[in-house]
Amino acid sequence: MRQIVLEAPGRFAERDAAEPVAGVDHALVRIERVGVCGSDFHAFAGRHPIYTYPRVIGHELSGVVAEAAGIGHSIQAGDRCAIEPYLTCGSCRACAQGRNNCCERIRILGIHVDGGMQEYLSVPVNSLHKSTILSLDQLALVETLGIGAHAVDRSGLSVGESVIVVGAGPIGIAVAQFASERGAEVRIVETSKWRRSFVAQMGYAASESAGDQRADVVFDATGSAAAMAASLTHVDTGGRLVFVGLSRDPVCIDDSLFHRREVTLFASRNSFGLFPRIIRMMEEGRIDTSHWVTDRLSLAEVASQFHALPGRRTLIKAIVDVNHVS
């Protein structure tokens, strides 16, 4: 089968590999869609702190089950599924506390182990979440939505609270959607004029700068250490700041301001156990991703065209079509 491998920063290669087997309590999945994440761009540029090389990247995945092994589960051949990419140990201190998203031995498909930029993948059956309603594109976006949903859960957001989301990439948009669903008043800050227009069409107030505005909860989804530090200034007294994006650089906090307003700072890492809830919300029309996909590549085009994606002014979410099934 065909694999696209990120051999080193800036260099993809295509190779042939043996088709995997399902294994005990695993399923063989024909990969159909791979969402391209901002962290994939950082890995390509050699700026992400946790990717290792060479790596078959791709952790925002959907596919069709080709074969399911084991008993006692509802997954069958032919099921369309979102693939939860987090492989956790289940026995470390974090897992014992139910915080599997912080597993001390976590392995994430496409980051620590090979992911979805290949025609087939063997994954644990319990990592598959099926839907008979959602499209393959929608199912590939569940993981991204999970990052936003977990961030909102971490914040303890309540109905009627005010929210500023800094950054209108897919993660920021996901945060905004789940915060709105929670009953918050949401404003978005985004430097890109085109992205401001994009989220305005979704019904959100958007501005280039927050100015002197404050909110009960500020979510920073930029991954920029400078922006993350500046986001503190927009948190109201007694409010919360949630770092959703990840930076490899130190974030310098104005400690005087941090103490004066008695701000609570949260980190938000991955998600866990949210796929069924998110799929249900999408099926019910409460979370809409119908306009997210702005760019599309075939698997064969990744090696030659991936590098150009981050520079596209109108990029929100790129999808790689692996096996061309609609």
> Over pLDDT 70: what percentage of the chain?
98
Query: Would the pLDDT of 49 be above 90?
Result: no
Q: In the prediction, which pLDDT does 47 show?
A: 86
Largest CA distance in the chain: 59
- Phi and psi for 199 in degrees, rounded to 5? -75, -25
**160-187, pLDDT tens digit by residue?**
999 999 999 999 999 999 999 999 999 9
**What H or E segment, with its residue span, contains residue 162?**
strand 162-166
Q: Measuring CA to CA, how many Å separate 213 from each of 191, 254, 262?
A: 16, 17, 17
The pLDDT value given to residue 71: 57
User: Nearest to residue 137, comparing CAs of 291, 245, 301?
Assistant: 291
Mean pLDDT, to the nearest integer, of 194-209? 96
What number is the average pLDDT over the span 58-67?
Answer: 96
Average pLDDT over residues 25-54: 93
* Cα separation values, 271 from 30, 129, 174, Å: 24, 14, 13
Q: Looking at this protein, which amino acid is placed at residue 52?
A: T
Task: Give the pLDDT score at 24.
Answer: 85
C-alpha span between 290 and 35 (Å, rounded): 14
Residue whose token pair is 């912080």 = 102
- Secondary structure letter of residue 306 according to DSSP: G
Question: Could you give the domains of the chain?
Answer: 2-141+292-321 (3.90.180.10), 148-267 (3.40.50.720)
Q: Is the dihedral of CA 159, 160, 162, 164 positive or negative?
A: positive
**pLDDT (0 to 100) of residue 43:** 94
Q: And the tokens for 44? A: 């390509």
Q: What is the average per-residue pLDDT within 227-245?
A: 98
pLDDT of 227 higher than 90: yes
Contacts 24+ apart (CB under 8 A), 228-234: 229/253, 229/254, 231/164, 231/166, 232/257, 232/258, 232/263, 233/257, 234/164, 234/166, 234/210
Tokens of 291: 């306009």
pLDDT at 72 over 80: no
Tell me the backbone φ, ψ of residue 178, rounded to 5 degrees: -75, -30
CA–CA gap between residue 46 and residue 246 (Å, rounded): 14
Cβ atoms within 10 A of the Cβ of 294, count? 15
Residue 217 CB neighbours (<10 A):
27
Look at the block and give the residue holding tokens 């075939």: 298
Which tens digit of pLDDT belongs to each residue from 75-91? 999 999 999 999 999 99
pLDDT above 70: residue 254: yes
- Supply the pLDDT for residue 325: 58
Residue 64 has what pLDDT?
97
Instruction: Tell whether the model's pLDDT for residue 151 goes beyond 90.
Output: yes
Confidence of residue 324 (pLDDT cuts 50, 70, 90): low
Mean pLDDT, rounded, for 270-285: 97
Instruction: Show Cβ contacts of residue 261 under 8 Å, excluding neighbours closer than 6 positions.
Output: 235, 236, 237, 238, 239
Q: What per-residue confidence (pLDDT) applies to 73?
A: 74
Mean pLDDT of the chain: 95
Distance from C-alpha of 57 to C-alpha of 63, rounded to nearest angstrom: 15
Report how far residue 264's alpha carbon sits from residue 284's, in angstroms, rounded to the nearest whole number. Answer: 33
